[in-house]
Amino acid sequence: MVRLRRPLLATVAGGAAATLLAGCFSAAAPAGSDDRLRLAMLQPPRSALSPFSDDAFKLSRWSTAETLVTLDDLGEAQPALATAWSRVDERTWSFDLRPDVRFHDGSTLTPDAVVTMLSAATAAAPKPRILDGVELTADVVDEDTVTVATATPDPLVPQRLSSPQLAVLAPAAYTGDGPVDPIGHGTGPFVLTAVNGTSTATLDRNDDYWGEPARLAGIDVDFVPDGTARAAALRGGTADVVEAVPVSQAASVDPALVHEVPMPRTNTLYLNNRTGVFTDPALRAAARESVDAARIVDQVYEGRADVARGLLGPAIPWSADRPSRTPAPAGDAAGQRITLATFTDRAELPEVAVLLQQALEARGFVVEQVVREYQFIEADALAGAFDAFVLSRATVLDSGDPAAYLYSDFACDGSFGIAQFCDPAVDRALADAAATEPGPARRSAVLEAERLILERDAAVPMLHERVIQGESSRVSGVVRDPRERALITADTALS
């Protein structure tokens, strides 16, 4: 049965009644209850919920689509639909599938289903980000085992298979000429039963789930791009969980209902190391010393961010163990002319640029600002047209490993070299990190590469962002996930 309902935006006014109703309950709902959770999400689907797009993270946050592997807080691979794996040779991995798993359409999880998914992913246009630059093939070994091979040795294959963009759906999801169809084709504790364009989605409890059944009867999702409306839904009680409450709205909500989640995203001042003023290491150091990150956090982010101690922040807990570094001495910036650029798509960045201009000018730099929409400024930034560029950058990409971000931004042949930075010692450190097996040794190698980058003032990390997640007083078991992969799970309940 398809459930028809009014979107949240049309029912915000009913919040008072919902709040009164919540007071009638005192205990968490038992497993198998009839409670349905109301979820207000920031962005509507952009690609018809195709798992090969960023929409995959919605399917993951709703616990409807699952992957072979999941990640723990340290980014280490843990069992999910695969119970174990091993390295057959330097290019091949073997994965044992969890028994007795059924897709929502009743079909069985088999090695053939995994091969179907991976074959569709590698043939997709565009391919999932996690497969950029990766040649991957999959083969059935027996009724319980599949092998995954790469063209070159890759120690991160299990981490790659944790990406929501490689969730395993029933083979029927990949038939036809249209996009992959996730409706009724996942394996998770909730079944996606209906999607109403970019307005709503409906999920019901999967009573045939391979794990513990969901405590909720289902999830009713509303896509609410307007931040003021999302905050109003939380205040009025018409939403139980709200994604991304805007900083400007957080003060209007009961503090007990908002929770700040550190994000693997760093607001960074990239300096042009190849041409112009900042080819001089002493002037890069002067720019670094001029940055007052605490002021930016206080005045732009209203205290809801973390002052950066490095490129990697508190969302990556092991980054706190970084080695000490020796900063370069600063030179005299008096009269040095620079262009400082950023973009308007993230509303806080022009405000950050204003404070940076003031601080740089106080140091002696003469600053000209350039601010445009991102689509009109990215090419110039990548070409090195500016002396300095303010960017909010994700530091953990889909594999859960920051080595790819560091390589992209700071390797000599990195694909996102806004800093125009090239240093053989850093390249060697990045290569060492990329070749090291996951675990403590790889984490240490990543932090050593970060140390070298920061000692050369290739860029100045300023702050690490947080997202504000709203949760009503009657909800429990909501996940506060820095990677934004998990949100509502089988353990989530209403009281």
User: Hey, what amino acid is at 149?
Assistant: A
The model's pTM: 0.83
Q: What 8-state DSSP symbol labels residue 462?
A: E
Q: What 8-state DSSP symbol labels residue 259?
A: E
Q: Which CATH number fits domain 65-180: 3.90.76.10, 3.30.230.10, 2.40.110.10, 3.20.20.70?
A: 3.90.76.10
**Computed over its alpha carbons, how large is the radius of gyration of the chain?**
24
d(C-alpha 470, C-alpha 210), whole Å: 30
Which helix (H) or strand (E) segment holds residue 389: the answer is: strand 388-394
Return the bridge partners of 338, or none.
Answer: 367
d(C-alpha 110, C-alpha 145), whole Å: 8
d(C-alpha 473, C-alpha 238), whole Å: 12
d(C-alpha 363, C-alpha 96), whole Å: 60
Q: Which has the closest alpha carbon to 156: 139, 132, 175, 177? A: 132
Which helix (H) or strand (E) segment holds residue 494: the answer is: strand 493-494
Question: Residues 371, 353: contact at Cβ < 8 Å?
Answer: yes
Question: Residues 429, 448: contact at Cβ < 8 Å?
Answer: yes
Question: Residues 161, 56: contact at Cβ < 8 Å?
Answer: no
Q: Produce one character per residue of 52-85: b if its CB has 16 or more CB atoms within 10 Å, e if not.
A: bbbbbbbbbbbbbbbbbbbbeeebbbeebbbeeb
Domain residue ranges in the chain: 1-64+188-240+472-495, 65-180, 262-467
Which helix (H) or strand (E) segment holds residue 20: the answer is: helix 15-22
Superfamily of domain 262-467: Dipeptide-binding Protein; Domain 3 (3.10.105.10)
Amino acid 32: pLDDT? 63
Task: Give the dihedral of Cα atoms 222, 224, 228, 232; nearest 10 deg.
Answer: -10
pLDDT tens, N- to C-terminus, the chain (495 residues): 344 455 655 444 444 333 323 333 334 556 666 799 999 998 899 888 999 988 999 999 999 999 999 999 888 999 999 999 999 999 999 999 999 999 999 999 999 999 999 999 999 888 888 887 789 999 999 999 999 999 999 999 999 999 999 999 999 999 877 789 999 999 999 999 999 989 999 999 999 999 999 999 999 999 998 989 999 999 999 999 999 898 888 889 999 999 999 999 999 999 999 999 999 999 999 999 999 999 999 999 999 999 999 999 999 999 999 999 999 999 999 999 999 999 998 889 999 999 999 999 999 999 999 999 998 999 999 999 999 999 999 898 677 789 888 998 999 998 899 999 999 999 999 999 988 988 999 999 999 999 999 999 999 999 999 999 999 999 999 999 998 899 999 999 999
Question: Residues 351, 300: contact at Cβ < 8 Å?
Answer: yes
Q: Produce one character per residue of 135-159: b if its CB has 16 or more CB atoms within 10 Å, e if not.
A: ebebeeeeeebbbbbbeeebbbbbb
Output the CA torsion sign for 165, 40, 225, 302: negative
Amino acid 13: pLDDT? 41
Please give the distance of CA 355 from its chain centroid, rounded to a whole number: 27
Cite the DSSP H helix spans in 23-172: 56-61, 111-123, 157-160
pLDDT tens column, 311-356: 999 999 999 999 999 999 999 999 999 999 999 988 899 999 999 9
Question: Residues 262, 315: contact at Cβ < 8 Å?
Answer: yes
136-142 vs 388-394, strand pairing mode: unpaired
Which helix (H) or strand (E) segment holds residue 164: the answer is: none
CATH number of 1-64+188-240+472-495: 3.40.190.10
Question: Residues 215, 198: contact at Cβ < 8 Å?
Answer: no
